[in-house]
Amino acid sequence: MKYLAVLLLLSSLFLASCESDPTAADEYEIRNIIYDISRDFSWGEINGIMAHVHPDFRHKGMYSAELLQLWQNRRAQYELLDCDVSDVEINYDRATVFMTMTFQSAGATYSYSEPETSGDASYFFYDGGSWQLYGDQTWR
C-alpha cells in the first residue's frame, strides 16, 4: 500500500510538471523572433530581419526581394521599432501574430495594428525546425 501511495505521489508530481499548453514553446519562439525583428530594425540590421524570412515568402503579391526593400524604406524613414505582441494564434504549422508596431524617428511616430494594416511580419510557417515569416501567401 505504501508503494502505491508513493507511486501515486510521483505520478501526480510528474503530471503537475508537464507543460499544460503544448504551443507555449512555439509562442515563445515566435515572440522572440518579433523581438529580434524590432531589435535588428533599431540597430539598422535589415539582413537580420531577412534571416527570419522563409524562402517561399509571399504576402499580398510581395516576395522576399520586395520585403527587403520595404524594410529598407521603413529604416530610411524611422530609427526605432517597438512591437507590442498582444496574441499569437498557432494552428499546426501556421501562426498569426497580432501586435501593434510603432515606428519612431526624431520627427514622427507611426503606430498601426497587425495583421490588419500591412501584415508582412504577422504570418509564420514552421519549416525546417523553426518558425519563419511566410506572409499570407496571396497574389494581390
Asked, for residue 15, whether it belongs to a domain, the answer is no
Whether residue 1 is predicted with pLDDT greater than 60 in this model: the reply is no
Q: Tell me whether residue 36 is in a domain.
A: yes
pLDDT digits (tens, 9 = 90+) for 46-56: 999 999 999 99
Specify the CATH number for the domain of residue 56: 3.10.450.50
Nearest partner of 132 among 89, 84, 81, 94, judged by Cα: 94
> How far apart are the C-alpha atoms of 136 and 57, rounded to whole Å?
8
Range of the domain at 36: 24-133
Look at residue 16 and tell me whether its pLDDT is greater than 70.
Answer: no
Q: Would residue 42 count as lying in a domain?
A: yes
Question: Looking at the domain assignment, is residue 108 inside a domain?
Answer: yes
pLDDT, tens digit (0-9, with 9 covering 90-100), for 99-121: 999 999 999 999 999 999 999 99
Query: Number of structural domains, the chain?
Result: 1
Q: Is 119 within the bounds of a domain?
A: yes
Q: Is 69 inside any structural domain? A: yes
The 10 Å CB-count burial string (b at 16+, else e) for 26-57 is bbeebeebbebbbebbeeeebeebbebbbeeb
Q: Considering the domain boundaries, does residue 55 fall inside one?
A: yes
